[in-house]
Amino acid sequence: MKNILLVIMVLAAALPREGRCSGYEFDGVGAAAVARGGAVIADAADWTAIYWNPANLSDVKAREAGLELKTGVMSPKDGNSLNTPVGNPFDKTRENSSFLFGSLGAAVPLDDKSALGFGLYLPLLQGSKFKDSDPTPSFYNSIDYEGFAGLAVWNLSYARRLGERFSASAGANLIYARLESEATHDFAVSPLLALLSMPGPDVVRQKLDGDGYGLEGVLGLKYRHSERLAFGAVFRGGSRVMLHGSATATSQVLPAEKSDFRFKLKQPATSGIGAAWQARRTLKLSMDLTQTWWSGFSNKTVYETPGLLINSNENTYDWKNSFKFRAGAVWARSESTDLLLGYAFDTPALDKGSVDFSTAVDVPMHRLTAGLTRKWEALRGTLTAMTGYGRRTAGGVKYSLYGFALLGEAAYSF
């Protein structure tokens, strides 16, 4: 549930330290749910319940399949550009990043009390780039980095009514993570050669490619206090995804190096509670509070055959658990048209010592959403627009993020 760059940060922690930038924004599954600020833990009674709260599957009345696509652009800013071992020699402080990803799934009632849900969502599918030159080269001449990070989640969930008021669910997420990177460091004074008492220029090229799988449990509850008021809760247990891959590095003056590596990705546990209130016949209001348990994150990377160019590292961060508040409204303008509005605010997780160009998007973030849903018998379509902005100051440096996204969703009942 944690938004912005945290997942790509976890993946990118294994990459060359100077080469991480850009990010993504993940606010959940389904354009209609996101248009309500994502405040649907107590009210996602459709195929998107596989993400928000699988206990809502027990309220699905007919078989349904859905597809969503999301595209947009985001722009993080780091007031002193990219951190390097010798400070901040680069002038580039703003980076634009586009993204495209989506989700699909289905809800299948088994009888009047139970249902299955399954689907795939992509919280991360993005490339990133950073390329700049030192205007007054004394250590670096330039850096040229390009990378890709992807995260896919397959879900299977079962929900059942336990009487008139309660529903419970259990499910599993199969997580697939992949990362690739290629970086060229053009040194005016190579730190490696300096260690060998051979000061001089050097060009170091590094490549990395790895992937891995993990498994996560999901539990959900729903309580119907009345026909107008419902409450929900969801918990994801988190996972440890061990990525395996290979890395290579070359230098103009040192022997080439190659090594397999292991990187343990922490998929954090998340929890959330929510309420949905039918205020009027045509108006429904909802509110959620979620938490992501980031404490104890480490980016330990182990290389089987380390060398001068490729070496193991273990950095422990003082990350904080993050919170997100969501609120939303649905106005049934007619039997075939709904207008949706939402707001979400979340707190950053990174400690001030971890903030860099690569993580500048981890700021206190405000997001506004608006959407329109149209229904045609068995087909339902939603178009949603989202914009967001946030900023923070850490260590005397200002960081900010703004972005815009469009989401489209189609669902079919059969």
Q: Which H or E run contains 321? A: none
CA distance 355 to 366: 19
How much is the average pLDDT of 210-227? Answer: 96
pLDDT class for 21, splitting at 50, 70, 90?
Answer: very low
Q: Do 189 and 201 meet the contact criterion of CB atoms below 8 Å apart?
A: yes
- Among residues 329, 112, 117, the alpha carbon closest in space to that of 220 is found at 117
Nearest 5°: the CA angle 126, 132, 135 is 165
Sign of the Cα pseudo-torsion (57, 105, 23, 15, in order): positive
| Least confident among 93-102, 124-133, 245-254, 317-326 | 124-133
The pLDDT assigned to 272 comes to 96
Tokens of 163: 């009487």
Tokens of 203: 């060009």
**Given a cut of 80, is residue 164 above it in pLDDT?**
yes
72: three-class secondary structure by DSSP: strand
**Given a cut of 70, is residue 8 above it in pLDDT?**
no
| Least confident among 114-118, 320-324, 381-385 | 320-324
CA distance 286 to 279: 10
**Given a cut of 60, is residue 22 above it in pLDDT?**
no
Query: Exposed, middle or buried: residue 123 (CB in 10 Å: 0-12, 13-18, 19+)?
Result: buried
**DSSP string spanning 267-307?**
E-EEEEEEEEEEEETTEEEEEEEEEEE-TT-B--EEESS--
**Given a cut of 50, is residue 27 above it in pLDDT?**
yes
Q: Which H or E run contains 221? A: strand 202-224
The pLDDT assigned to 56 comes to 97
Each residue's pLDDT tens digit, 170-193: 999 999 999 898 989 898 877 666
CA distance 351 to 119: 34
Contact residues for 99 (Cβ-Cβ < 8 A; gap 6+): 24, 25, 70, 71, 72, 73, 74, 125, 126, 405
The per-type count for the chain, helices as H runs and strands as E runs, is 4, 17
CATH level 2 (architecture), domain 6-413: Beta Barrel (2.40)
**Given a cut of 70, is residue 108 above it in pLDDT?**
yes
**Identity of the highest mean pLDDT range in 7-16, 103-112, 172-181, 187-196:** 103-112
Beta bridge partners of 265: 241
- Among residues 412, 402, 413, the alpha carbon closest in space to that of 25 is found at 402
The pLDDT assigned to 192 comes to 62
**Given a cut of 70, is residue 231 above it in pLDDT?**
yes
- Among residues 230, 145, 215, the alpha carbon closest in space to that of 180 is found at 145
232: three-class secondary structure by DSSP: strand
Q: Higher confidence at residue 3 or residue 104?
A: 104
C-alpha count within 13 angstroms, C-beta hemisphere, residue 297:
27
Domain spans of the chain, in order of start: 6-413
pLDDT class for 103, splitting at 50, 70, 90?
Answer: very high
Tokens of 321: 């658990």
Cα-based distances in Å from 129 to 15, 19, 137: 13, 8, 21
Q: Which H or E run contains 31? A: helix 31-35
Q: Higher confidence at residue 316 or residue 294?
A: 294
Q: Do 79 and 399 meet the contact criterion of CB atoms below 8 Å apart?
A: yes
How much is the average pLDDT of 373-400? Answer: 93
Q: Do 148 and 127 meet the contact criterion of CB atoms below 8 Å apart?
A: yes
The pLDDT assigned to 116 comes to 98
The pLDDT assigned to 46 comes to 95
CA distance 307 to 195: 13
